[in-house]
Amino acid sequence: MKKRKFGLALSFVLAAGTLLGACGTSEDKEGASSGDGKKEDQFTVAMVTDVGGVDDKSFNQSAWEGLKAFGKENDLEKGKDGFDYLQSQSDADYATNLNKLARQDFDLVYGIGFLMEGAITEIAQQQKDSHFAIVDAVVDQPNVASIMFKEQEASFLAGVTAGLATKTNKIGFIGGMEIPVIERFHAGFIAGVKAVNPDAEIVADYAGAFDKAELGQTIASKMYTQDVDVIFHAAGGTGNGLFKEARDLKEKDPSRELWAIGVDSDQSAEGKVGDHNIILTSALKRVDNAVVDLSTKAKEGNFPGGEQILYGLKEDGVGLAELNDELSNKDEVMKKVDEWKEKITSGDVKVPESIKDAEAFSAN
């Protein structure tokens, strides 16, 4: 008898549980979609860094700042239900990380840097229902938006600054790898220097890597020894070596006038030496603005799949950071920078994209 009563009681409990599970609550229905906790109308976005990492004080960090800004504007939190990133330790991680984020059902996944072109192409073909964006490369797939910049316009302004700041008339350029995006930086810098100081000599060297600070320091040391007093880098983490060398030299001789110019983000925080700062300015590549802009387009249902989106001075996609207050002729330099910025944004001046065209550039 006891066994029969217990059996009946258990049957009622199971039936009640089944009924409640089937009904649920209205809040449960509104808050759930695919079973992962993500709301149906909630837009999510993520990015995969290149080997420089999310805190490279340059390209990846700028992209991450953009994602955080977009998240803040849209009340999103870091994580699978909002915005997030995966960091790549080597190029072998690119495809794996992109695929992982696509499988986590992010609405838009960014690949940061031209090195991810192959991985984006591969995963976009496999995950045809996912949307991807790549920075600094063009991937011809209907579910990929390609973000490109007029780096030459930012580096032109950096060249104007360097040409007017130099006292030795010897200026240096350190590149990461000899690829189109870095050639645009290099070309714009040459043209900017030539526009205001055609007598200046520009020496250049390439490290062949974006994550070798020791190589950047070796190259910078050689240049500073050769009487170069202003060096601009477009070399990612390799450029940290330039900053270290400039700081070391300034620390040994605070009266020595030498400068370094940063890239992508405002890198002035890397130049502090006691009461001085060796960062003259930085050529800004506003990856953050581009990320916010494209994410907003995608969220509003206007994802530009299969298209190239080009950001320049006019679109606030590139620019120049504040000039160092220690620059003796700061006001004069700033005036010239503003003049050339106006000429470029108005279309009166087209900044060359190749070194060959830059060497033939004339300000007249």
- The residue ranges of every structural domain in the chain are 45-149+288-311, 151-284+328-359
What gap in Å lies between CA 318 and CA 306, rounded to an integer?
A: 23
Q: Hey, which bits of 123-258 come out as E strands?
A: 131-135, 144-149, 170-175, 201-206, 230-234
pLDDT at 242: 98
122, 172, 209, 242, 336 from 179: Cα distances, Å:
21, 18, 11, 20, 30
Q: Looking at domain 45-149+288-311, which of 3.60.15.10, 3.40.50.720, 3.40.50.2300, 2.30.30.30 is its CATH number?
A: 3.40.50.2300
What token pair was written down for 176? 């990461």
Q: Hey, which bits of the chain come out as E strands?
A: 45-48, 83-86, 108-112, 131-135, 144-149, 170-175, 201-206, 230-234, 259-264, 272-273, 276-277, 279-285, 308-311, 318-320
Is the fold of 45-149+288-311 the same as that of 151-284+328-359? yes
Kind and range of the H or E run holding 163: helix 151-165
- Reduce the DSSP state of residue 133 to 3 states and report it: strand
pLDDT at 40: 63
- CATH number for the domain whose boundaries are 151-284+328-359: 3.40.50.2300
What gap in Å lies between CA 302 and CA 296, rounded to an integer?
A: 8
What token pair was written down for 135? 């920075």
Say what the pTM is. 0.83
User: Is residue 287 within 8 Å of residue 64, measured between CB atoms?
Assistant: no
What gap in Å lies between CA 159 and CA 319, rounded to an integer?
A: 12
Q: CA geometry: angle at 176 spanning 171 and 180, to 5°?
A: 95
Task: Read off φ and ψ for residue 79, nearest 5 degrees.
Answer: 140, -175
Number of neighbouring beta carbons within 10 Å of residue 204: 16
Q: Residue 205: name the closest of 237, 168, 242 by CA.
A: 242
pLDDT at 340: 98
User: Is residue 337 within 8 Å of residue 157, measured between CB atoms?
Assistant: yes
What gap in Å lies between CA 218 and CA 210, rounded to an integer?
A: 14
User: Is residue 176 within 8 Å of residue 207, measured between CB atoms?
Assistant: yes
Residue keyed to tokens 């990856």: 287
Non-local (6+) Cβ contacts of 91 within 8 A are 50, 51, 115, 119
pLDDT at 211: 86
What gap in Å lies between CA 263 and CA 117, rounded to an integer?
A: 22
Question: How do the pLDDT tens digits run along the chain, 364 residues long?
Answer: 434 443 434 344 334 343 333 344 333 333 333 444 555 679 999 999 988 889 877 788 999 999 999 999 999 999 999 999 999 999 999 999 999 999 999 999 999 998 999 999 999 999 999 999 999 999 999 999 999 999 999 999 999 999 999 999 999 999 999 999 999 999 999 999 999 999 999 999 999 998 899 999 999 999 999 999 999 999 988 999 999 999 999 999 999 999 999 998 899 999 999 999 999 999 999 999 999 999 999 999 999 999 999 999 999 999 999 999 999 999 999 999 999 999 999 999 999 999 999 999 987 7
